[in-house]
Amino acid sequence: MLPRALMLSSVAISNTSAVDTCCFNYPGGKFLSTQFWDTAPPTGPSDAWTLHGLWPDHCDGSFDAYCDPHRNYNNVTSILTSFGATTLLATMSKFWKDYQGDDSNLWMHEWQKHGTCVSTLKPDCYGPDYKPQEEVVDYFRSAVAVYQQLPTYDWLKEAGIVPSLTQTYSRDQIMTVLRQKHGADVSLGCKGNKFDEVWYHFDVRGSIQTGDFVASIPDGGKTTCPPLGIRYPPKGSSGGGSHTTYNPTHTAAPGPKPTSTLPAFSGRGTLNVLTNDDRVHGCIIGSGTWYVSGTCAKFTATPIDNAKTFTLRSNKGECAVLDGELTCSRSVRKSSVFSADAGGLLAFGNNVTFFADSVPRGWKQQGVFTEPEGHATRLRIRWEGA
């Protein structure tokens, strides 16, 4: 069990001015510890699931992201080293892995998107003895501590659920084992019928630095694995597909290298959004979101690979698919690789269909995702040269 220095009960507080956000995370109070099983390419030890992240969530399943641009640190390794956290860094280098091989980019992304949204990690919570950036160490130390209490591979192996190229499992088999070990249902993620992600849900009584992580039920239906025929291939096998996240929240993904031989976008242009009736309905703006009001952003497409593929950049920065969501930001260190079809439609991983929660209205923006789970609206994106 994790440390129990603070045993504060989760309570609903309507008067936000009375909330001490240094005592427990607010808003929200829920956290997800998420793990990957990447087989192609194989990532991390062959007998361990790897850590994806520790994410603060609201009780309704929504979440905040990128909460403090002033603390968008991109030098996690040097920060940990400066605080003497060499053992922590060694553990992260072994178990907190990026399937593209850029671990430091994954750590930076997790801190910027999720760590900055943990209220108990705000510098003001540390008092007069605060050392700049010590909250970064606390975030990664807590994330690793939680992960080490969740040995998914070992728990499944004890129940006879082991990686195999021939054996398949049912959702109930896997869920029953992890529920008994964790103390509550978990969220199981599959790409098709390939099992590759587990989310453990917690209520946290106190701060993430010293509080009590209590198993809780998932905040909404996040499991995407089919009832039967779930494959759990060993690492190093083809696995039936490359890594992908099953829910659009949370790792920098340059994406599978497209194989299209059709001409790519080039130069400057706009990204117009087409809905089901093939009519233009707004456009993609500089941050990568879908917008129907105001002026469309100009993007620069830079061809690569003999002009068969390309990268995109807006005035906000390079564009990448981060945890299944299109994002353009100066914090993006590695651009995703895109391609195009014959009609000038944007493609990611050779797929021209993207997804959103709904059609934006008025001044509201909608995120654009590459996977359909949880996103009811389909859209396509067409290039229009400037």
> Active-site residues: which are they?
52, 110, 114
Place of tokens 């192996």: 157
Q: What angle do CA 34, 175, 185 make, to 5 degrees?
A: 65
The count of other CB atoms within 10 Å of the CB of residue 48 is 18
Which residue, among 10, 123, 116, has the nearest Cα to 54 in the 3D structure? 116
Query: One-letter amino acid identity for 294?
Result: G
The count of other CB atoms within 10 Å of the CB of residue 334 is 16
Place of tokens 């945890």: 323
Phi and psi based region of residue 82 (left: phi greater than 0; alpha: psi -120 to 50; beta: remaining):
alpha
Residue 296: alpha-carbon gap to chain centroid: 27
Q: Tokens representing 150?
A: 């969740």
Please, how many CA atoms are within 13 Å of residue 326, restricted to the half-sphere of its CB?
A: 31
Do 337 and 320 form a contact (C-beta atoms < 8 A)?
A: no
The count of other CB atoms within 10 Å of the CB of residue 303 is 15
Which residue, among 318, 320, 356, has the nearest Cα to 338 in the 3D structure? 320
Which residue, among 381, 167, 131, 362, has the nearest Cα to 275 in the 3D structure? 381
